[in-house]
Amino acid sequence: MDTEYALRIGLDWADEKHDLMVLAAEADGPVHYEIASAPESIDHWLAERRLEHPGGRFAVCLEHTRGAVCYALLKYDFVDLYPVNPSTLAKYRQAFGPSRSKNDRCDAELLLELLVTHANRLRRLRPEHPAMRKLTLLCEARRKEVDGRTRLTNRLRSLLKQYYPQAPQLCGDKLYTPMALDFLKRWETFQALRRARKATIREFYKSHHAGKRTVDSCLEALATSCSVTDDAAVMETSVVRLRILLSQIALANQAVQTIEEQIRRTYPEADPEDLFASFPRAGKALTPRLCCAFGSDRTTFASAEQFQAASGVAPVTESSGKSHWVHWRWSCSKFLRQTLVEYAQESRKRSAWAKAFYDHQKAKGKSHQTALRALAFKWARIMYRCWKNHEPYDEARYMRSLEQHGSWLAQAAKAA
């Protein structure tokens, strides 16, 4: 830690109060403070300490890199934050207290001890510029909304299996699409659909731009199908639940669209070079997520290996005596790993070498997810170099590099 701090603070935050252990540069030992969790309390406490140490900088060690406390402290230009992973603090606590006893003041003391004793192992939080932070939060919010919509469509699929199993085949497997929602609103039961004229059904599909083959196959399936049940109790209850789920899915669609519009407006400001759009099949959803994965500060990751570890695509090796175990990384950003693995899946559809590499992994007996993580591991190194050098990705250039180095992947990609 290069900076000389007037105060070093271990902060254990909670919903109702915060415990702080404060060590001044000239003091013999730390002092304990307990303040309310309200923003006004934090502001007042810092103002008092600022009067005692005018011009000095404060170092604060705390858990997490987000949350109300972190956001409240980031607005002070004289405060530097040193976040610690909660699992790190838990293991540090257990190292000296095997009984697993825990209290807030003790945690504040341990955070201060980490800051004082292991300062060289802690990394100061350097916030990205506002556009990048906004884009990151929007991308994560979109993922949560999409996951919520998926849960709703799974509930809808389960409901349809009970009384209307033909619906997914007739309106499309993606039950959140406008055509699927309109279909189920118009024909809530199989009996209602059977009463409709073929011309009406054809007009419905035509209005949603469905192809002739799709229309014919749906009408053929309709002609050979029969209802599961005519029980009025089952039908009426199912229709009530159907209407509720359709309204919830429509709201989820609206939420996703709103966030996507915000992402579209924010991305050009966060990544003016439009670097990540050069990667094959990145698309409008994954391009901003890849941008957020790396950020704008080129000093964040010192090497490709560091990024691979931080993203969770690098495996972990444990060796002790004769035992040797390689497993995937548990402590990492799950959203970041998900981003790279999802991109690896998409890249197989456009990049010849990516498809050849994935097929090679599968031929070795690897599972689908293991093969994708291995491919994501390779993409992470390539992306890191492009990001570091401010250069867009060039598939032809990379293929030439593989050929020059005599890589088997170049021959496999040509044969694919």
H-type helices in 60-103, by residue range?
68-74, 86-96
Mean pLDDT of 205-228: 83
| Domain termination residue (choose one: 217, 246, 267) | 267
**What Å distances lie between residue 244 and 219, 235, 238, 251, CA to CA?**
27, 14, 10, 11
Residues 215 and 147 in one domain: yes
Side-chain half-sphere of 96: how many Cα atoms within 13 Å? 9
Q: Where are the beta strands (DSSP E) in 277-371?
A: 316-320, 323-327
- pLDDT tens, 156-165? 999 999 999 9
Give me the helices (H) in 209-303, please.
212-223, 232-270, 283-294
Give the integer Cα–Cα distance in Å for 57 and 207: 65
Please state at what angle helix 304-311 crosses helix 368-389, rounded to 10 degrees. Answer: 140
pLDDT tens-digit series, residues 359-405: 999 999 999 999 999 999 999 999 999 999 999 999 999 999 999 98
Q: Is the pLDDT of residue 331 over 80?
A: no
Top-confidence residue, 228 or 150: 150
- pLDDT for 3: 66
State the first-to-last Cα distance of the chain, in angstroms, to the nearest integer: 52
Q: Does position 290 have pLDDT exceeding 90, yes or no?
A: yes
Average pLDDT of every residue of the chain = 89
Residue 328: inside a domain = yes
Q: Which tokens sit at 188?
A: 């809530």
Single out the residue of 183, 163, 187 nearest to residue 173, CA to CA: 183
* 305 touches 314 (CB < 8 A): yes
- Half-sphere exposure for 234 (CA within 13 Å, toward CB): 13
Cα separation, 162 vs 144, in Å, equals 28
Residues 6+ apart with CB under 8 A from 124: 80, 81, 82
Q: Tell me, what CATH number does 110's domain have?
A: 3.30.420.40
- Same domain (yes/no): 253, 299: no
Give the burial class of 123: count Cβ atoms within 10 A of its Cβ; 0-12 exposed, 13-18 middle, 19 or more buried: exposed
Counting Cβ atoms within 10 Å, is residue 280 exposed (0-12), middle (13-18) or buried (19+)? middle
Token representation of residue 381: 């190194």
Say yes or no: 286 and 411 in one domain.
Answer: yes
Looking at the structure, tell me whether residues 150 and 250 fall in a common domain.
yes
* Residue 86 within any structural domain of the chain: yes
Are both 99 and 191 inside the same structural domain?
A: no
- Residue 414 near residue 352, CB atoms below 8 Å: yes
Region of poorest pLDDT, from 94-103, 137-146, 171-180, 223-232: 94-103
Residues 6+ apart with CB under 8 A from 15: 37
Number of separate domains in the chain = 3
Q: How many residues does the chain have?
A: 416
243 plus 159 within the same structural domain: yes
User: Are residues 100 and 176 located together in one domain of the fold?
Assistant: no
Asked if residue 294 and residue 190 are part of one domain, the reply reads no
Tell me the torsion sign for CA atoms 124, 129, 132, 133.
Answer: positive
Does the pLDDT of residue 7 top 90, yes or no? Answer: yes
Quote the domain boundaries for residue 87. Answer: 7-127
| pLDDT at site 216 | 82
Q: Are residues 411 and 282 in the same domain?
A: yes
Residue 191 or 319, more confident: 191
Question: Is 174 a member of any domain?
Answer: yes
For 358, the token pair is 């994935």
Supply the DSSP string of 106-153, one letter for each residue: HHHHHHHHHHHHSGGG-----PPPHHHHHHHHHHHHHHHHHHHHHHHH
Q: Which of 101-105, 164-168, 248-252, 278-282 is the least confident region?
A: 101-105
Q: Is residue 2 situated within a structural domain?
A: no
Same-domain check for residues 118 and 137: no
* Domain end position, chosen among 127, 160, 183: 127
Q: Which amino acid is at 19?
A: D
Residue 1 falls within a domain, yes or no? Answer: no
Count of Cβ atoms closer than 10 Å to residue 221 Cβ: 12
231 three-state secondary structure = coil
Between the alpha carbon of residue 93 and those of residues 113, 310, 354, the distances in Å are 11, 24, 44
- Strand order of the β-sheet with 58-63 is 31-36, 17-24, 7-13, 58-63, 79-84
**In a shared domain, residues 137 and 217:** yes
- Within a domain: 46: yes
What letter would DSSP give residue 278? G
Domain finish residue from 267, 297, 332: 267
Percent of the chain with pLDDT over 90: 55
Same domain, 172 and 85: no
